[in-house]
Amino acid sequence: MILSCQNISKAFNEVSILSNVSFHIEDYEKAAIVGINGAGKTTLLRILVGELTPDSGVVSLSKGKTLGYLAQNQDVDSTKTLYEELLSAKEDLILMEEKIRQMELSMKQAKDSELESLMETYSRLTHSFEISGGYSYKSEITGVLKGLGFEEEDFSKQISILSGGQKTRVALGRLLLLKPDLIILDEPTNHLDLNSIAWLETYLLNYKGAVLIVSHDRYFLDKITGKIVEIDQTKATVFSGNYSDYAVKKEQMRTIALNAYLKQQNEIKHQEAVIERLRSYNREKFFKRAQSREKQLTKMELLEKPSQAATDIHMTLTPRCTSGNDVLHIEGLTKSFAPHLLFSGLSMDIKRGEHVAIIGDNGTGKTTILKIINGLLDADEGTITLGTNVHIGYYDQEHHVLHMEKSLFDEISDAYPYLNNTEIRNTLAAFLFTGDDVYKRVGDLSGGERGRVSLAKLMLSESNFLILDEPTNHLDITSKEILEDALNAYEGTVLYVSHDRYFINRTADRILDLRSGRLNSYLGNYDYYMEKKQELSKDADTDRDAATRRQEAVSESKLDWKAQKEQQAQERKKENAMKKCEAAIEKLELELAEIEESMARPEIATNSVRLQELAAKQQELNAQLLDWYEQWETYAN
């Protein structure tokens, strides 16, 4: 075991953030901490690394072990270049190398009596230098910089002139090169493109040490982690497996806990009703019975209500009208920011009902394409044609649609004056703004919170063509799942830019890969795209040239998209029908369980009239249940 966390508690202004949190990290283990925004994940990390002191509890790092920490944002102001900053992580090897050079000079001038001793020391030092990676550390630095998305011309740039995201990448690179026994990373993928994230996954999987990550990137967590520590309602629960394993187990546990909570609440209500009835008789013996039941109630250990799951929050996107079949046609689109050419001669078509994701490296022009479509930027060349009855709803990263001086409630009510108080609150609640949160100023919100407000406004717009620029940035996993479910049920057309592979996998039915100034189309989700990419790589190994490979990728878009869309629509319809059946079955089974519980009560078991009523209702519900099961089996086959 490398790290132990025992009964950690922390409160701010008497509000509990963490309560008796306990878990441990084994040597070489890859683990993650998950939870909604504000759950206390970053607070816990800062306690683990000693930046914060817990109110109670103990954090123990095994003797002789080293720890490295990457915070979300890095405020590095250094005159060093990128290469020099990463080179400083290898200071011990540099000093060792200098000592070796000095010894080589000394051996040339040494007397015979001194030479043997010098050579022994030199042999030990060079061996140590070799096994520590002394002969490869420069190439290792270059590999890390390139893996994190830097080009060779960036290596000589001063850190002080870099953006915040670039500084974070430099700090991550230096930390990886230091190779501590335990790496702790807070949202490491926030400033990385898809290629850099894939590189980091491989690096961490092969890392000869332990890794602890806080991240909302579910695909990343699935690839790396074997343990999940969940922070929920100030408590910690440990799950074995990756994120997908955790999600399944979490829902099972939540269902069990919710059923137990509801059962206890029903029992409390029943006991309270019995106590009230006994007191109404106004006789001593009934009064004593009431007191006895009250005493039992006070001794009952009350169960906490499980936190709300994303599946409990439903949000509907409804287009105002249906667009024509041809939603968007782009021909010969070209854009440059002198002297840099972003892309040239781009062409694409989007049909009604498609969910299309644009992916590509940072700086290739993905967001620029969306801005040109929305008229926020002019193209250098090319034409953009919208189809009949196309109404665009646009979500941008900068949240230009928001008014900083307004409250959340006014932001929605002013934009949509026909909504009543309840409808506005329900909309905001779908994006996790409840109670007095609705009166917060937009200007006082975090970036993630503003993103949720922008999405809430977009959901109400009734547009039939949604254009989204990085919609999941700063969203926690719960909010992402709400958005995914809403988009999957949306009958309009969606075009978005995202680097969230899990989100793309769940919501896209076509991928546009912007690479080398060209768009390559793949019919399918992210996993399908990766599969085709691997096939193309194998083709490259058989000496196919780059032009042929691009042609194969482009040819994907020439497949019969209509047949694909009809098949995907049928699959979505089937999935929705199965969910409807499962919800009805669950509801009926709960009702039947309640009837069985009622029939077992002594006061009902001796009441023949009430017993017959319940038996009749039971028979009716069983008949309905059988019908729903038959429907479910039809869809399942």
- The stretch 194-212 carries a mean pLDDT of 92
C-beta of residue 323 within 8 angstroms of C-beta of residue 390: yes
- The stretch 137-144 carries a mean pLDDT of 91
Distance (Å, whole) CA 86 – CA 267: 63
591-626 per-residue burial string, b: 16 or more CB within 10 A, e: under 16: ebeebeebeeeeebeeeeeeeeebeeebeebeeebe
Q: At residue 311, does pLDDT exceed 50?
A: no
- The stretch 544-551 carries a mean pLDDT of 58
Number of residues that make up the chain:
637
Distance (Å, whole) CA 489 – CA 98: 64
Tell whether 224 is covered by a domain: no
Q: At residue 279, does pLDDT exceed 90?
A: no
Q: If we measure between CA atoms, which residue out of 369, 443, 453, 354 comes closest to residue 405?
A: 443
Tell whether 58 is covered by a domain: no
What per-residue confidence (pLDDT) applies to 614? 80
In a shared domain, residues 473 and 602: no
- Least reliable range by pLDDT among 152-161, 286-295, 308-317, 603-612: 308-317
DSSP 325: S
What per-residue confidence (pLDDT) applies to 310? 47
In a shared domain, residues 468 and 534: yes
In a shared domain, residues 369 and 499: yes
- The stretch 324-346 carries a mean pLDDT of 91
Q: At residue 560, does pLDDT exceed 60?
A: no
- The stretch 193-215 carries a mean pLDDT of 92
In a shared domain, residues 555 and 568: no
Report which of residues 530 and 637 the model is more confident about.
Answer: 530
Distance (Å, whole) CA 484 – CA 489: 9
39: helix, coil or strand? coil
173: helix, coil or strand? helix
Q: At residue 239, does pLDDT exceed 90?
A: yes
Q: Average pLDDT over the chain, rounded to whole?
A: 85
Q: At residue 542, does pLDDT exceed 70?
A: no
In a shared domain, residues 474 and 620: no
Report which of residues 110 and 65 the model is more confident about.
Answer: 65
In a shared domain, residues 381 and 469: yes
What per-residue confidence (pLDDT) applies to 543? 56
In a shared domain, residues 377 and 480: yes
Q: At residue 233, does pLDDT exceed 60?
A: yes
Distance (Å, whole) CA 356 – CA 512: 7
- DSSP letters spanning 248-293: HHHHHHHHHHHHHHHHHHHHHHHHHHHHHHHHHT--HHHHHHHHHH
In a shared domain, residues 513 and 632: no
314-344 per-residue burial string, b: 16 or more CB within 10 A, e: under 16: ebebebeeebeeebbebeebebeeeeeebbe
Distance (Å, whole) CA 227 – CA 32: 6
CATH of the domain at 598: 1.10.287
C-beta of residue 220 within 8 angstroms of C-beta of residue 30: no
Last residue in a domain, options 503, 533, 559: 559
Tell whether 334 is covered by a domain: yes
What per-residue confidence (pLDDT) applies to 47? 95
Last residue in a domain, options 559, 583, 607: 559
Tell whether 89 is covered by a domain: no
Which residue range is the domain that position 613 belongs to? 560-637
DSSP 81: B
Q: What is the pLDDT of residues 148-172, one digit of tens each?
A: 989 888 999 988 888 777 888 899 9
- DSSP letters spanning 310-321: GGG-------SS
- The stretch 530-552 carries a mean pLDDT of 67
Domain count, the chain: 2
Percent of the chain with pLDDT over 70: 91
The C-alpha R_g of the chain, in whole angstroms, comes to 31
CB atoms closer than 10 angstroms to residue 400: 9
- The stretch 367-383 carries a mean pLDDT of 92
In a shared domain, residues 363 and 481: yes
Q: What are phi and psi of 336, to 5 degrees?
A: -140, 155
Where residue 517 falls among pLDDT bands split at 50, 70, 90?
Answer: confident
CA dihedral (629, 631, 632, 633) positive or negative: positive
In a shared domain, residues 552 and 479: yes
Q: At residue 388, does pLDDT exceed 90?
A: yes
Residues 6+ away with beta carbon under 8 Å from 576: 489
In a shared domain, residues 517 and 574: no
What per-residue confidence (pLDDT) applies to 550? 58
What per-residue confidence (pLDDT) applies to 22? 96
In a shared domain, residues 580 and 504: no
- The stretch 480-492 carries a mean pLDDT of 87
Structure tokens at 437: 């949160």
- The stretch 92-107 carries a mean pLDDT of 88
Q: At residue 312, does pLDDT exceed 80?
A: no
- DSSP letters spanning 507-529: H-SEEEEEETTEEEEEES-HHHH
C-beta of residue 397 within 8 angstroms of C-beta of residue 496: no
199: helix, coil or strand? helix
What per-residue confidence (pLDDT) applies to 576? 80
Omega before 339 within 30 of 0, i.e. cis: yes
Residues 6+ away with beta carbon under 8 Å from 47: 8, 10, 18, 53, 54, 59
Residues 6+ away with beta carbon under 8 Å from 446: 37, 474
Where residue 445 falls among pLDDT bands split at 50, 70, 90?
Answer: confident
Tell whether 180 is covered by a domain: no
Tell whether 471 is covered by a domain: yes
CB atoms closer than 10 angstroms to residue 28: 14
